Amino acid sequence: MTTSRTTPRSPRTAVVVGAGMVGLATAWHLQRRGVEVTVLDREGVAAGSSWGNAGWLTPGMAMPLADPTLWTYAPKALLDPAAPLHVPARLDPRLWSFLARFATHATQRAWDRAMAALTPIDRLALDAFDELAAHGVAARTTPGPFMIGFEHEKQAAPFLHEIAQVEAAGQVVPLRRIDRPDGAAPLPGPTHPDAGRAPGASDAVGRPAQLTDRVRAVYALEGQRFIEPGPYVGALGDAVRARGGRIVTGATVTGLRAQEGRGVQVLVDGQDPVVADVAVLATGAWLPGLAEPLGVRTLVQAGRGYSFTVKTDLPVEQPIYLPSRRVACTPYQGRFRIAGTMEFRGPDEPFQPRRIDAILASVRDLFQGVDLDDRHDEWVGSRPVTPDGLPLVGATRAPGVYVAGGHGMWGMVLGPATGRLLAEQIVTGTVPQEIRAFDPLR
């Protein structure tokens, strides 16, 4: 079944607000379908969350954030300022309303429902990167494997359980135990019979030299990839320009006016409005300001994460994940990017150096040969988090105005597939099955 809440005729022009991964992927796909595109950003390409993130293209891990374990770690986190999850102690009705709704989704039933809704787009995600590469986006994706480290076997149980649930929902997620620090024989334990045959699977993967002996259980996750996020989104922007698209930076959008059959007027601070047949709001964690007046009531809260890069004694070839510390690391420009924390604050609030300290304190005993004191590129970015763990992709109440966002922890991996599916909806008027659950008016 399809629903149609789109413009009656196929649009010829579009304005996309937001030049992050999601906005640019949508612009690129609209162009591919013959639509002339203007992209507006208040700062520039990849100025938001799409820059300093971990760059993991891991559909096998793209799952809802709220899960039943929230009830175990959240109360402790509220009392511990160094915990990976951080909520400032302040009276902020909007924030607490978000947290209350988020908490109602931390049940197994809600998680299963959201996972079922995410699985169809998760399954398209990597193919959507191949499509970009095949048609002119000059940036590469790199296969894993991803190295997942635990201090003891019991600590691995929740992660293994999550991966098993992702598989039960319909993805193939090859994961195997690779070694033990005492040199004992590898313990292969594929969660799926296809393990080792996944695209990009490596025959011989060893324990990363950067992990200390405290990390006693290491798993290799295959079939996933990673990118250097800022450069990748830059290349996507170049591809949009190369096809004749305009990317206007320093253009802060303040509102939209839409009238049935007469297109959309996009109001830009201090500049003339930009008029087009349709408009797409892809403003990440800043979505509510523009989208709420158009009937999008789902709260989008900035889940701020921090990252920095460091030098390592030996080159790092693969991403490393430390689930118990909630830290994700990725090779980046010859260095090693370390990313973590989930801080529920406003997207424009100042950088909090204490969050970097918290990441450092959490990994010091697990890394060796990593110079944690020589940090470059310290960064904070805002994941656009929704309470139910589902993105907001589709039409708003205003004719010809769409939103694309709210991907939370997974906007990089899901951005290209989102762009493809939303462009299809905008041009054909038919909502693809994969994004039906992401209706922004839900």
Ligand X SMILES: Cc1cc2nc3c(=O)[nH]c(=O)nc-3n(C[C@H](O)[C@H](O)[C@H](O)COP(=O)(O)OP(=O)(O)OC[C@H]3O[C@@H](n4cnc5c(N)ncnc54)[C@H](O)[C@@H]3O)c2cc1C
Q: Indicate if the alpha-carbon torsion angle 283, 289, 295, 296 is positive or negative.
A: positive
In the complex with ligand X, the residue whose CB is nearer, 18 or 64, is 18
Site string for ligand X, 394-433 (x = CB under 6 A): -----------x-x-xxxxx--------------------
> Which residues from 308-367 bind ligand X, rule CB under 6 A?
328, 339
- Candidates 14, 27, 35, 41: give the one binding ligand X (CB under 6 A): 41
In the complex with ligand X, the residue whose CB is nearer, 235 or 282, is 282
In the complex with ligand X, the residue whose CB is nearer, 55 or 263, is 55
Using CB atoms within 10 Å of the CB of residue 105, give its burial: 0 to 12 exposed, 13 to 18 middle, 19+ buried: buried
**In the bound complex, what is the minimum distance in angstroms from residue 100's beta carbon to ligand X?**
23
- Candidates 11, 48, 120, 143: give the one binding ligand X (CB under 6 A): 48
Q: DSSP E strands: which ranges in 125-167?
A: 142-143, 146-150
Of 12, 38, 10, 8, nearest to 26 by C-alpha is 38
Give the DSSP letter string of 9-65: S--SEEEEE--SHHHHHHHHHHHHTT-EEEEEESS-TT-STTSSS--EE-GGG---S
Q: How many residues of this chain bind ligand X (CB under 6 A)?
A: 40
Look up residue 152 and give its DSSP letter.
Answer: S
Q: Say whether residue 19 binds ligand X (CB under 6 A).
A: yes
Cβ–Cβ under 8 Å, residues 226 and 52: no
Cα dihedral 405→200→196→58 (10° resolution)? -10
Distance CA 146, CA 149 (A): 10
Distance CA 17, CA 240 (A): 14
Q: Say whether residue 383 binds ligand X (CB under 6 A).
A: yes
**In the bound complex, what is the minimum distance in angstroms from residue 317's beta carbon to ligand X?**
17
Tokens 């990009």 correspond to what residue?
200
**In the bound complex, what is the minimum distance in angstroms from residue 439's beta carbon to ligand X?**
17
**In the bound complex, what is the minimum distance in angstroms from residue 327's beta carbon to ligand X?**
10
Q: Say whether residue 42 binds ligand X (CB under 6 A).
A: yes
**In the bound complex, what is the minimum distance in angstroms from residue 283's beta carbon to ligand X?**
4
Distance CA 379, CA 204 (A): 34
- Candidates 7, 14, 16, 20: give the one binding ligand X (CB under 6 A): 20
Using CB under 6 A, which of the segments 52-60, 155-163, 195-203, 368-376 binds ligand X? 52-60
N- to C-terminal Cα separation, the chain: 17
In the complex with ligand X, the residue whose CB is nearer, 52 or 179, is 52
- Candidates 7, 31, 38, 53: give the one binding ligand X (CB under 6 A): 53
Using CB under 6 A, which of the segments 27-35, 48-56, 104-112, 234-242 binds ligand X? 48-56
Using CB under 6 A, which of the segments 5-13, 47-55, 174-182, 234-242 binds ligand X? 47-55
SS3 440: coil
Tokens 């992927």 correspond to what residue?
25
Q: Say whether residue 384 binds ligand X (CB under 6 A).
A: yes
With b meaning 16 or more CB within 10 Å and e meaning fewer, what string describes 1-18?
eeeeebbeeebebbbbbb
Write out the two tokens for 2.
Answer: 């399809």
Using CB under 6 A, which of the segments 54-62, 168-176, 177-185, 257-265 binds ligand X? 54-62
Q: Say whether residue 286 binds ligand X (CB under 6 A).
A: yes
Edge-to-edge strand list for the sheet holding 274-276: 253-258, 264-268, 274-276
In the complex with ligand X, the residue whose CB is nearer, 21 or 216, is 21
Site string for ligand X, 163-202 (x = CB under 6 A): ----------------------------------------
Using CB under 6 A, which of the segments 51-59, 69-77, 86-94, 293-301 binds ligand X? 51-59
Using CB atoms within 10 Å of the CB of residue 93, give its burial: 0 to 12 exposed, 13 to 18 middle, 19+ buried: exposed
> Which residues from 215-254 bind ligand X, rule CB under 6 A?
252-253
**In the bound complex, what is the minimum distance in angstroms from residue 319's beta carbon to ligand X?**
8
Q: Where do contacts with ligand X occur on this chain (CB under 6 A)?
A: 17-23, 40-43, 47-50, 53-56, 252-253, 282-286, 305, 307, 328, 339, 381, 383-384, 405, 407, 409-413
